[in-house]
Amino acid sequence: MKKHLLKILIFLVVAGCCCVLPGHSSASGPPARTHWQAFELPSDHRPGYQGLLIFWIIPDQDIYTYSHDPGPGGYPTALEILGVLSEELTVYYPPGKMLPDPFEPQELSSLYLGPTPVFIPVPEDLTSGQTLEARASFLLCSDRNCWPVSKEVQYDLDRLALESLPNPEEESWWPRWVASVPGEKESPAPWTGNSEPAAPLLEEGFLFETRSFTPGLEVSSAAKAALLAILAGLILNFMPCVLPVISLKLRGMIPDSAHDQDAAAKRKAFRIHNLFFALGMLLFFSILSVIISLTGMAWGQVFQNPIAIVILAAVVFGLGLSLFGLYDLPIIDLKAGSSSPKKNPNLEALSTGMLATLLATPCSGPFLGGVLAWALTQPPATIAFVLLCVGLGMASPYILMFFFPFMVKFLPKPGNWTLYLEKGLGFLLMATCIYLIALLPETLIMQTLIMFWIIGLGAWMWGKWTSLSQTRLKRGLIRGIAISMMILAAFFLFKPRTYYPAIWMAFDEQKFHQVWGEENFLIEFTADWCPNCKFLEKTVLTPPFLDRIGQDYDLVFLKVDLTYKNPAGEEMLRALDSMSIPLVAIFRKDEPHSPLILRDLFTRNQLLNALDNEFRSSKP
């Protein structure tokens, strides 16, 4: 819990992301090495094959990769055979370990932990002058960064005939080979992921001598980094990713009618606004530089946290609602002529500058990638200096307007058109919310939309149910209810969850026949378009409850997903005398022809009673 709170706290003061996520310098390369090994392949396992090649991926400590079949997230590990040998050789991948994805804990992904072998059995007729060429691609990840790797590798197959190959059956990885190939004779032993392979026949480390297409833009000194950082920060103001903050910047440029008649006051307000707006940007980059230099946090790492994205989207949504007139904000108020008695123009400009910087930095611009790739491998003081230069470049247009306040005369005069502009900017902020929601994993989108609905209701209660004519007690009570409603909704929608191993097996005819008459099992029919099905899954068929009844009644669980056309599942539904869902059927292994059916909605107690009656009645 403390770790999650720390991430949320850091998010509130740290800038968003960039397309580059450097964690290692280009000189050191990704945190892994690879090599080949060759072994004799026993004839009782693969007759007609002279040997077994293994391509090892050996990540550094605390680095993992995704398996060849990673699940809904991740990037598959693959070894693609190139050339004419692609038709002669088959690549086999070991199964991964199903775990909550480190970047999307609500999703289960198949991961490779520790050294990972990729297997290639070699037929007897492929030794004479043949060279195996392949392209290895995989994603190396820590709990903070990821490094995509794609490299071409080779192996001279003549070496199989020239060398005396060891027998592999005593090797610690042998169970993984057995698990990789369908039809092998042995059952795989558990793999801990910790044992190193034997001495390699061919060592291939990730030590590249890179060449830049634009060597003049490569950074090699603090002076050059500072210059390019200022230029990169300036360009950030004009990148497409600045669209989310146009509303914040434009609103600051619109003069209020209060200063319309006094030119001197108008210039003074313009100067002060730009000064504090620029100070907000520099303050934000100062905080960012301290956090990154002290923690080693990667630029953009915050956007790897879905909860951080939800918080940012909720802030933007709240700002958008204020532009539609639901309420006045005490600190960041984007509306012209706000009547809020607590409005402080200087504090508003400062906080708006900080928020604008946060929203404007999710993507990179020219020069920034090279600057960060060099800077984030330097000592903390250098990191802080370079990031401050980026902030100085981004704030430079507003610093310029502070020193040249005559630019205010180029701004349009205030009028009714500003009200339409405010609404347009509100819609732009709503579009930003859509963009942020699109970054979330699918499993969080529905919770986020529900949270936005509750935020909208709470904002309406705050702004439209209260007024200064009410007593302070009544006004405070209504607003307290609105805030409590939003806090409770956030807690219940995004509370930390305990993750259980994958309980449900996806239904297919083969799995059904494997368990039918051999296991006690429960089968559920569901679909994404069935709200009652989803209600059951959230309230009754939850992972902890299924884990409990699975142990108590020795049950396995099958799920028939009818979201899309599923002929086998639909046939099974009809065989159970049903044409509607939700439906749950309980099969006893000693009486598989007579399942017990629960239709529509039911409670946990009803399901427990059904299980008790079914299995206790079967006992002598």
> What is the dihedral sign for C-alpha 126, 130, 131, 135?
negative
User: How far from the centroid of its chain's Cα atoms is residue 215's Cα?
Assistant: 33
* Band (27; pLDDT cuts 50, 70, 90): very low
Q: Specify the higher pLDDT residue, 541 or 107.
A: 541
Over residues 205-231, the mean pLDDT reads 66
- Looking at 495-616, list the stretches that DSSP marks H as alpha helix, in order from N- to C-terminal side: 509-515, 531-539, 543-553, 567-575, 604-616
Specify whether the CB–CB gap between 398 and 281 falls below 8 A: yes
pTM over 0.85: no
Which of 16-30, 206-220, 336-350, 380-394 has the least mean pLDDT? 16-30
Please provide the average confidence, as pLDDT, over all residues in the chain: 75
Give me the pLDDT at residue 556, please: 87
**Which pLDDT tens digit goes with each residue over 564-604?**
778 888 888 888 888 778 889 999 888 888 888 888 888 88
Pairing of strands 520-526, 555-561: parallel
Q: Residue 157 phi/psi, 5° resolution?
A: -70, -20
Phi/psi class of residue 83: alpha, beta or left (left: φ > 0; alpha: ψ in -120 to 50)?
Answer: left
Give me the pLDDT at residue 55, please: 92
**Which pLDDT tens digit goes with each residue over 71-95?**
766 788 999 988 878 878 889 999 8
Pairing of strands 97-100, 108-113: antiparallel
In which element (H, E) is residue 559 found?
Answer: strand 555-561
Q: Give whichever of 143-152, 166-175, 430-439, 552-561 has the largest mean pLDDT.
A: 552-561
CB burial string 24-59: b at 16+ within 10 A, e below: beeeebbbbbbbbbbbbbeeebbeebbbbbbbbbbb
Query: For 273-305, what is the HEC assignment?
Result: HHHHHHHHHHHHHHHHHHHHHHHCCCCCHHHHC
Q: Where are the beta strands (DSSP E) in 200-270?
A: 202-205
Q: How many CB atoms lie within 10 A of CB 393?
A: 25
Give me the pLDDT at residue 218, please: 62
Q: Give whichever of 286-290, 449-453, 597-601 has the largest mean pLDDT.
A: 449-453
How far apart are the C-alpha atoms of 398 and 405, rounded to whole Å? Answer: 10
* Band (29; pLDDT cuts 50, 70, 90): low
The answer, yes or no, to whether residue 17 has pLDDT greater than 60, is no
Pairing of strands 583-588, 591-599: antiparallel
> What is the dihedral sign for C-alpha 23, 315, 386, 294?
negative
Over residues 141-148, the mean pLDDT reads 74
In which element (H, E) is residue 318 found?
Answer: helix 306-323
Give me the pLDDT at residue 24, please: 38
